[in-house]
Amino acid sequence: MKIPIINPKNNLPLYCEGSKLADYEGNTFPIINGVARISDLDNYTENFGVQWNKFDKTQLDSDTDGLELSKQRFFAETHWDHDNLNEQNILEVGSGAGRFSKVVLEHTDATLYSVDYSDAVSANFKNNGSIAPDRFHLFQASIYEMPFPDASFDKVFCMGVLQHTPNFDASVKALIQKAKVGGEIVVDFYPIKGWWTKVNAKYLLRPITKKMSHNRLMNLIESNVDWLIKVHFTLHKVGLGVLTRFLPVCNIKDSFPQSLTPAELREWTILDTFDQYSPEHDHPQRISAVVKMFERHGAKVTFSGYEPYGDGGWASVVRAVKSNH
């Protein structure tokens, strides 16, 4: 069954009117680069629009020599059986350039409704818009104002996003609201493992870097990435890997597959480092705290912990089912 598209501010149905969506009160939303823009075009996620339109294919399975990291991560985290997703409506919140959109569209027969608050939707549409147009519905929209009625979706997933939203608890609530009773919700997020989690270069420098222009920050990372990669691996080689947390670069050794080429490794390092230092919001959480959020907002948690995937990757994950109350 097709999900109605609504104006999230008044719940009125939206219909296509030329190059925009409109409701019967005359409110309109532009369609730009093939995507309806339900949210304000300028918002706190501008950095993600910059990074995903620059690195639009970096994390796609089709561009990583058959590694299928996105596919492995998606099915490892969700525990969904692709054969059981036929005719189901799935909501993806925070699509980025569409690495997981592509997995759903290419490896299942589900209908995917996907939103991202940034202009990353332009990259997603370019990457995936032609795969299965009848099963793919993409919108630029806030997690707090999605253009769908509550209790609409069989499954909801949100990967790599929640820590970058202004209010983690409210974001969890918004995801649960869109699921049907009995529908599954799967999220991952940056975990707090202990007092040392925020004792590193990232959290020491973010008060400065998140205020820098995106172009300046990107240029700074690109001009320093080569020596940072060398120092990172040298410290691990001599048994001083613990010190890499004080290098202004992402955790390369533990984050990326060993099979990446040097050029791919460099590109992934630039992308992930920009992803760490540019967002306005970065709110890691204890897994136990996220479990309580789900329970408070009417979902029964079926799993919480760390899920391994691919070539040494892992993610902190909570899976839940929406209950009646």
Q: Indicate the range of 3-7, 23-27, 37-41, 227-231 predicted with least confidence.
A: 37-41
What per-residue confidence (pLDDT) applies to 325? 62
Q: Which amino acid is at 1?
A: M
pLDDT band at 49 (very low <50, low <70, confident <90, very high): confident
Helix axes 69-78, 99-107, angle to 10 degrees: 80
43: left (phi over 0), alpha (psi -120 to 50) or beta: beta
Q: How far is CA 54 from CA 49, 58, 97, 221, 266, in A?
A: 8, 9, 10, 14, 14
pLDDT grade, residue 63 (50/70/90)?
Answer: low
Where are the CATH 3.40.50.150 domain residues in the chain? 15-191+284-322
Contact criterion met (CB below 8 Å) for 56 and 75 = no
Rounded to an integer, the average pLDDT of 287-305 is: 98
Looking at domain 15-191+284-322, its CATH architecture is 3-Layer(aba) Sandwich (3.40)
pLDDT digits (tens, 9 = 90+) for 223-247: 999 999 999 999 999 999 999 999 9
pLDDT band at 59 (very low <50, low <70, confident <90, very high): confident
